Each structure stands twice: as structure tokens, then as C-alpha cells.
Amino acid sequence: MLLGLVGKPSCGKSTFFKAATLAEVEIAPYPFTTIKPNHGIGYVRVECIDKEFNTQCNPNKGFCISHQRFVSIELMDVAGLVPGASEGKGLGNQFLDDLREADAFIHIIDASGKTDILGKQTEGHDPREDVKFLEEELDAKFSEAVAKQFSGLKVKEEQVKKVLLKLALPEKPSGWNEKQLKDFASELRKISKPMIIAANKCDDEDAVKNIENLKNNFKEHLIIPCSADSELALRQAAKSGLIEYIPGEKDFKIIKNLSDKQKQALDKIKKNVLDKFEFGTGVQQVLNTAIFDLLKYIAIFPGSPNKLKDSKGRILPDCFLLPSGSTALDFAYHLHTDFGKNFIRAIDARTKMAWGKEHVLKHRDILEIISR
């Protein structure tokens, strides 16, 4: 899975990216800071099952803190888009092309209203305009690509059929007029590239009103207030051993003596962000919502009822993300083609019940695949 971070220049995309990945990327308050797409590893948070088995897991990938498992996903930060990007303005075409491979978009919005549509500093900008322009640019790019072919957009045949049925369009695109083409491209983009809005800089005094307006005007979108700056500060403090902080939590614990300046900075984050907003800084919630609610994936653990260790002695080393509706057979193939081809049954490690190949899996299932 690849989540693409999109938005205008200076909205906080690079800060969000670094907060989510702690990768070293250039961050500066001016347009086009990011010149080439940055790829990094972020993590979704899953309640680990190790606690149910009175043990502590040893992740092969990702990490686990206080029985909260962090499973890796891929993020891509693309340079800011400006109105007219689909026509080549700014650095538009290059970066719109870079987004073709994304499975979903996280649209980073400057909820403070302190940057205009071009990413320049201002006062009183309406963030609703940012949502409208970005969707128009993406739709324009889709229209262009649809006019040529579907394959380059990483869309599925069933998604195309779903849109055709919804809009009652003629089966042959050659018979569509310009409006039908645009309508089709827009619906296809919404289905194949779903989008969540991260209302960044939520701690600004003007942000609360702007976020409420966004929610009232774009009810079809999931909108989550966030403060990428606050999340980055907390993760860096935790990485330096100053505090204990689990991404997604609404609190932290100071474990080392801090300077007055450090204490004041953390107190400000606690008061203006963690105590004020439902999901704390919101960054972890954006990632989790994108994967589990927008793309509807589930987390599955491999494990035997009698043995939780792998051949190297690691306890519950793996946790995989699969599409919702996946079966025991799908999971077997995900582990290895031979497991799928020679599937006999799956064993639920919790209940020791045997499952057939058509058994539909649930979030946080743990099972062992038995094959010939």
C-alpha cells in the first residue's frame, strides 16, 4: 500500500511526512521545498495480541510499545500542487504523474488559513478553496488519462464497471461527450484514489472555525484535525530519551530533566493540542483511518495455538495487512504461494478451531496455515 501526501506548497506536508516517518527531509516555509518525491515508511497502530497470550512480541518489522503494534506502510510526499498544475503550471505534471501509483491520498490542509492557494503567507484564507482546487486538478488529470487508457492509473476493472453503472454511461467511451468524460473521471478517481483530509495546524486560533467549515461543506470526506509540528516534536523528544510517548496517545511522560524552554514547549503541546483534540496530534489517527477505514484493510497475525515463536525464536514476529473480506486461503497465498496451492485448513490460535479456505477473516485474527 502506498499513501500519497498531497496539497499546496507550505501546508505542512513535509512536516507531516517527517513526523510520520522520522525520515530526514528538507522542511522550510516556502513553496516547492520538496523537489523529488520522498518515499518513507510510516506505521499504523494495532492493538497487539501478545497481551492475550501473556507474552511480549518481537516484531520482525515495525515495533511494539506497551502492547501497541506498529505495522509498516509506505508514504510518499510529493511537492506542492498549485491551481493549473494539470496544465503544467508550477511543477504540476511531474508530481501529478508521481501520484498515479498511490492507493489513497492524504490531503494536507493548512487549517490556519495563513497560506494562500499558492502557499504564500497571508491572513484569512478559506481552506475550503484548497479542497476544491486539488480535486479539480486530480479530476483533470484523470480525464486526460481516461481519454487515453485506464491501465496507467492503477485502477481495477470492477471499479470501472461500478462507475459505469452508477452514472448510466454508454459502454463505449467513444460515445461520451465532454461532460460524461469528466463525470466518469471524477467518480473513478474517488473510487480508485480515496482521500482523507488532514486539517493541519489545528492549534492555530483560526483553525477551529475553518475545520468546522470544512466538515460542513465536505461531508463526503473524512476530516481529522492534526498538528504535524506537535507530533514531530513529541517523536523527536521520545527518540532523544527525554519523554515516553506512544504515537496516537493523548499524553506523554517526562523521564529526564528538561530545560525551562523544553518544559514550556511540551506544556504548550499538552494544553493546545493533546488536551484539546480527540485524537491528540491527529497524525497517527490520519494514518490509521486511511488504512483501516478508507482502504478497509485488516491486520492478521500468523501464529500457532501451541507455538508463537518462529524458527529464529522470535515471538509473534509478523503482522500483515490484508484487504477486508480476505479469506483463510487468501492469507495462505499471502504467506507463500505453496501454502495457498497446498492448503488443507487454518487453525485459530485463540480457539483452536479449524477453518476452511473460504472462512472470512476478521481484524486481529491469529491463525496457523496447515498445508500438504
What is the domain count for the chain? 2
Largest alpha-carbon pair distance within the chain?
Answer: 71
| Residue 54 included in any domain | no
Q: Note whether 82 and 220 are same-domain residues.
A: yes
82-111 residue pLDDT tens: 666 555 555 555 666 667 788 999 999 999
Q: Note whether 217 and 306 are same-domain residues.
A: no
- Pairing mode, strands 343-348 and 2-6: unpaired
| Residue 203 included in any domain | yes
pLDDT at residue 179, as a whole number: 83
255-279 residue pLDDT tens: 999 999 999 999 999 999 999 999 9
Q: Note whether 213 and 320 are same-domain residues.
A: no
Provide CB contacts within 8 A for 90, sequence distance 6+. Answer: 31, 32, 80, 81, 82, 84
| Ranges of H-type helices in the chain | 13-21, 92-98, 128-148, 157-167, 178-192, 207-217, 228-239, 260-269, 283-288, 328-335, 337-341
Which of the pair, 247 or 162, is modelled with greater confidence? 247
Domain boundary among 293, 311, 327: 293
CATH number for 155 = 3.40.50
Domain boundary among 274, 293, 312: 293
C-alpha distances out from residue 358 to 233, 329, 355, Å = 46, 7, 8
Q: Note whether 84 and 221 are same-domain residues.
A: yes
Neighbours of 257 (CB within 10 A): 8
311-326 residue pLDDT tens: 899 999 999 999 999 9
| Residue 194 included in any domain | yes
For the entire predicted model, the pTM comes to 0.88
pLDDT at residue 292, as a whole number: 98
Q: Note whether 19 and 142 are same-domain residues.
A: yes
Tell me the Cα Rg of the chain. 22
Which of the pair, 34 or 156, is modelled with greater confidence? 156
Domain boundary among 244, 261, 293: 293
User: Is 119 in contact with 82 (CB distance < 8 Å)?
Assistant: yes
Q: Note whether 158 and 12 are same-domain residues.
A: yes
Range of the domain at 336: 299-371
Of the candidates 292, 118, 321, the one whose C-alpha atom is nearest the C-alpha of residue 196 is 292
| Residue 308 included in any domain | yes
pLDDT at residue 182, as a whole number: 82
| Residue 237 included in any domain | no
Q: Note whether 202 and 328 are same-domain residues.
A: no
Q: Note whether 328 and 179 are same-domain residues.
A: no
Q: Please state, in angstroms and rounded to a whole number, the distance separating the CA atoms of residues 70 and 206.
A: 33
The residue-averaged pLDDT of 302-312 equals: 90
- Pairing mode, strands 68-77 and 2-6: parallel
CATH number for 304 = 3.10.20.30
Q: Please state, in angstroms and rounded to a whole number, the distance separating the CA atoms of residues 55 and 302.
A: 15
Q: Please state, in angstroms and rounded to a whole number, the distance separating the CA atoms of residues 229 and 267.
A: 14
| Residue 50 included in any domain | no
Residue 81 has pLDDT above 90, yes or no: no
Q: Note whether 193 and 107 are same-domain residues.
A: yes
Share above pLDDT 90 across residues of the chain, in percent, rounded to a whole number: 66
Q: Note whether 26 and 120 are same-domain residues.
A: yes
* Amino acid occupying residue 199: A
**Alpha carbon 133 to chain centroid, angstroms:** 21
| Residue 254 included in any domain | no
| Residue 72 included in any domain | no
